[in-house]
A and B are shown apart, each in its own frame.
Chain A
């Protein structure tokens, strides 16, 4: 092979979504990445790390807020000319037949050429008998074959795939993954350069020559891991397993950093250059039920994070969030890749429901964010805090978090542990008072009327 020339080149890309009003969600933060010819790049990371946005930036579908995007050395405006894309949910046009869908990218070519390419591509993906069917009649796997065929027929310089197998059942996904692997390995097929998004480690190791591990909130590159295993790759080979193991480690480390926190729930953040202050740590967006469930299932033995993810049948990123929350509350510790139950955790598992709530309550109240919440309610005139008010405060205290989501998380924990109660009709929070709530009626005459909002 010749020296690879860079195809797609992005430098210092940042991207924000304007969510509501003046809030902006930073999705990508300072990402630089080069995709060269013959590269097979996997974008690997937990959900919410912006990998789908990143692949859309690479293909020119999304114009990033800041940073440069280049294609073959030229700055890219609009959709990249040499890119084809396979979508998670297939994106087939329901009103076109399989044939019509696949021919869409090459309709400008002479009919004979179209037909020749169509036949090649149909036999590559094994869709010959379905040429005149409508997508509605096809199974998920067949639909994605159409999607792949449509991408291949344009003979793209780069094939982009956005979680191409995650909407399929396990067996179908396995089959299609193998077929893509075969195409990459086969010397006669022109497909060489590919970028794909996945949250599945072995998928990344199976297909990619470079694996870009992303970290979440905001999305950024944690590490780029080269993968030099020769095609075709065997998932049972020791080298393959070792690579998967290494990536496990990296993902765990990026998402569960081994920082020693003397005072859990507080970290020192730089607010601006001159002033430092203690900012509250956000609570990961998980529910109490998930954390208690984790404790129940954990047992006494240390347990590997990936094994846990496997056992729960959940996505890695989701499990990491649950573990983080449990760690924040002091129920588990995470030395290395392992998760270990603490004494407090064990005590909590064994406790009765009431006891359990008390223990969680005590732990929660140690967190700065709950401290903030309780104090906020106390300073209100009638001990009633309006939702908008709290959202504003959260936004100010934790500018990088999504206030609505954080609010829902706080609400879930606060209500579960009987710290606060929430009236959904009026969107107001109070401190929980068992006497009032036991009567059932939420509106009572004992509270003076709320003054109308100015």
Chain B
């Protein structure tokens, strides 16, 4: 039940790659955005959001569709890039650290640049906006899926590889018969997690506004923002309910059946551990229509996977000259592609440097101070979150009954896009006499503490039974119980939870230090607020600088603190051999 990150020990940190990827990404987004767009550009039709509840199903459907389109691309990316990294050992050395950086940078900072770039590409239609929306959700979904699939491929039993070579499966059949079955369980599990992360980005991107410019697209996210702007509480409640329904429906109708189905691909066939099947999936399996559908799909997939030739026939028929030319051609295409990418990056980089020269010294100072404040907030949010999630997670993890009962609720809470209810929490904070300076801390926590809870609970549930008995026999209690037994036992999970939570927290500063509630704008001092403000006021150089600094901070902390802590926890506190 954890939101697990792929095993980090297998990947070496390489500061050079970090720098290249960071610079490349920022160059690409901001540089190109700068090339394409003047900052303010008259464009596209304005969207009117209808606040009557009857229009909600349609909005929900739009959001739903965006989520799934993004998921489709995430899946495609995952399968392609993970396989590439797995089979091409040379590319792997760059791909893996690059993905690692991409996973940890605060993507939300890139939203304005991305929207402007894509709107500039399609000035006369909504295509650019929709594309930006999908792309943002994609970036929230894809990384952990890719790592999971890559790790599955790495964990593939070597016999399977030999077998596929022996039977001359070819890449197409190898993918269907070997690779996908091996990776499908992890992939589905991570897809669930990704979809949850995707809703967060969806809710923000759909309601994106830039100063007076309206970049909204119809969906639940924009419905909520319109309801908040209008101060229409009834519509807000309806929006939250609709979002909840979408989350529950996707969970029950898609992920649960898929998860059940994927269990048949379990590699270690431990007969005793058959999990209870859900009533729904059994009912589906017995329904006649589903049987027909399954038969139909089965026939299609059989046709697709059916080989044209007997094994090794192609190799036998191949003339000796055919292969080298094809490989040569492939390499040529590869080089061209690489060249184009490098050129675009170089142009973007030059633009970026030019852009940064426009940033005033006072702005740099402001960025520095605000970074420190935001850092404090992120730290406070993670620490406060840990304070309750650590004991709660351990309690849940050690008690399987409690954990199975609470899991659906926790999963729901974790999936629900927190920004949708920011105004409510903020109203509460202000009613209690607080301001956003402090109030943004609970807002940040709202979305990120769940990661700690999940990972700690998973780690606690994995404590071997003998060890639990031993702790009881030794009468470890009070601080000894915590320091000698519980804390080290959950340390690997705790650190993973911290990493994910801190990454999410930096992202969340952008939306939680700068909140529109009703007609009012609440603003705190901090890097996230600075980014949002620079976005609204159209100060493009300042925005770029702030995003750059935030990305550098996050990746830097990741490298210097988290990865080391994680390595230590994994080395010392892992159970088993």
| Closest residue of B by beta carbon distance from A451 | B286
**Contact for B484 among A20, A79, A93, CB less than 8 A:** A93
Report Cα–Cα, A170/B381, bound state, in Å. 54
Query: Which of B271, B291, B491 has most chain A Cβ within 10 Å?
Result: B291
Q: What B residues does A59 contact at CB under 8 A?
A: 473
Cβ of B467 and Cβ of A93 under 8 Å apart?
yes
Q: What B residues does A87 contact at CB under 8 A?
A: 466, 469-470
In the complex with contacts A91-B467, A93-B484, A79-B475 CB distance below 8 A: yes
Give the secondary structure class of A's interface. loop
**Does chain A have a CB within 8 A of B287?**
yes
Cβ of B473 and Cβ of A61 under 8 Å apart?
yes
State which of B155-163, B210-218, B556-564, B567-575 sits at the interface with chain A.
Answer: B567-575
Give the secondary structure class of B's interface. helix
Interface size on B, residues (CB 8 A): 32
Interface size class of A (residues with CB under 8 A): 20 to 34
Interface string of B295-320 (1 = CB under 8 A from A): 10000000000000000000000000
Q: What B residues does A134 contact at CB under 8 A?
A: 572
**Does chain B have a CB within 8 A of A278?**
no
Q: What B residues does A354 contact at CB under 8 A?
A: none
Report Cα–Cα, A67/B281, bound state, in Å. 43
Report Cα–Cα, A87/B470, bound state, in Å. 8
**Does chain B have a CB within 8 A of A230?**
no
In the complex with contacts A61-B472, A450-B286, A408-B271 CB distance below 8 A: yes
Report Cα–Cα, A134/B574, bound state, in Å. 12
Q: What A residues does B575 contact at CB under 8 A?
A: 94
A140 to chain B, nearest CB (A): 10
**Does chain A have a CB within 8 A of B45?**
no
Cβ of A105 and Cβ of B474 under 8 Å apart?
yes
Cβ of A94 and Cβ of B470 under 8 Å apart?
no
A273 to chain B, nearest CB (A): 36
Q: What B residues does A453 contact at CB under 8 A?
A: 283, 286
Cβ of B573 and Cβ of A95 under 8 Å apart?
yes
In the complex with contacts A61-B473, A93-B467, A96-B484, A425-B572 CB distance below 8 A: no
Interface string of B489-519 (1 = CB under 8 A from A): 0010000000000000000000000000000
Q: What A residues does B466 contact at CB under 8 A?
A: 87-91
**Does chain B have a CB within 8 A of A233?**
no
**Does chain A have a CB within 8 A of B285?**
yes
Report Cα–Cα, A90/B488, bound state, in Å. 18
**Does chain A have a CB within 8 A of B282?**
yes
**Contact for A104 among B285, B295, B484, B577, CB less than 8 A:** B484
| Closest residue of A by beta carbon distance from B274 | A404
**Contact for A93 among B285, B288, B485, CB less than 8 A:** B485
Interface residues of B in 6-21 (CB under 8 A from A): none
Report Cα–Cα, A104/B476, bound state, in Å. 9
Report Cα–Cα, A94/B474, bound state, in Å. 16
In the complex with contacts A85-B469, A427-B277, A452-B287, A93-B488 CB distance below 8 A: yes
Q: What B residues does A104 contact at CB under 8 A?
A: 474, 476, 484
| Closest residue of A by beta carbon distance from B573 | A95
Interface string of B470-488 (1 = CB under 8 A from A): 1011111000100011001
Q: What B residues does A88 contact at CB under 8 A?
A: 466
Cβ of B572 and Cβ of A56 under 8 Å apart?
no
**Contact for B295 among A91, A96, A428, A443, CB less than 8 A:** A443
**Does chain B have a CB within 8 A of A136?**
yes
In the complex with contacts A425-B285, A443-B291, A91-B485 CB distance below 8 A: no
A395 to chain B, nearest CB (A): 15
Interface string of B267-294 (1 = CB under 8 A from A): 0000100001100001101111001001
Query: Which of A93, A136, A426 has most chain B Cβ within 10 Å?
Result: A93
**Does chain B have a CB within 8 A of A449?**
yes
Report Cα–Cα, A443/B294, bound state, in Å. 10
Cβ of A426 and Cβ of B577 under 8 Å apart?
no
Report Cα–Cα, A87/B474, bound state, in Å. 13
B260 to chain A, nearest CB (A): 11
**Contact for B577 among A107, A136, A425, A450, CB less than 8 A:** A136
Cβ of B577 and Cβ of A91 under 8 Å apart?
no
Cβ of A85 and Cβ of B283 under 8 Å apart?
no
Cβ of A95 and Cβ of B488 under 8 Å apart?
yes
**Does chain A have a CB within 8 A of B53?**
no
**Does chain A have a CB within 8 A of B231?**
no
Query: Which of B295, B469, B474, B476 has most chain A Cβ within 10 Å?
Result: B474
Report Cα–Cα, A428/B472, bound state, in Å. 45
Interface string of A90-126 (1 = CB under 8 A from B): 1101111000000011010000000000000000000
B546 to chain A, nearest CB (A): 41
Report Cα–Cα, A88/B469, bound state, in Å. 12
**Does chain B have a CB within 8 A of A84?**
yes
Interface residues of B in 440-477 (CB under 8 A from A): 464, 466-467, 469-470, 472-476
**Does chain B have a CB within 8 A of A222?**
no
B502 to chain A, nearest CB (A): 23
Report Cα–Cα, A95/B487, bound state, in Å. 10
**Does chain B have a CB within 8 A of A431?**
no
Q: What B residues does A105 contact at CB under 8 A?
A: 474
Q: What B residues does A85 contact at CB under 8 A?
A: 469-470, 473
Q: What A residues does B469 contact at CB under 8 A?
A: 56, 61, 85, 87, 91
Cβ of B283 and Cβ of A426 under 8 Å apart?
no
Cβ of B473 and Cβ of A84 under 8 Å apart?
yes
Report Cα–Cα, A428/B577, bound state, in Å. 41
Report Cα–Cα, A104/B471, bound state, in Å. 10
22 examples of A-B residue contacts, CB within 8 angstroms: A20-B276, A61-B473, A79-B473, A79-B475, A83-B473, A85-B470, A85-B473, A90-B466, A91-B469, A93-B484, A94-B573, A94-B575, A95-B573, A96-B484, A104-B474, A425-B294, A443-B291, A443-B294, A443-B295, A449-B288, A452-B283, A452-B287
8 more A-B contacts (CB under 8 A) besides A425-B285, A452-B283? A59-B473, A61-B473, A79-B475, A87-B470, A89-B466, A408-B271, A427-B282, A450-B286
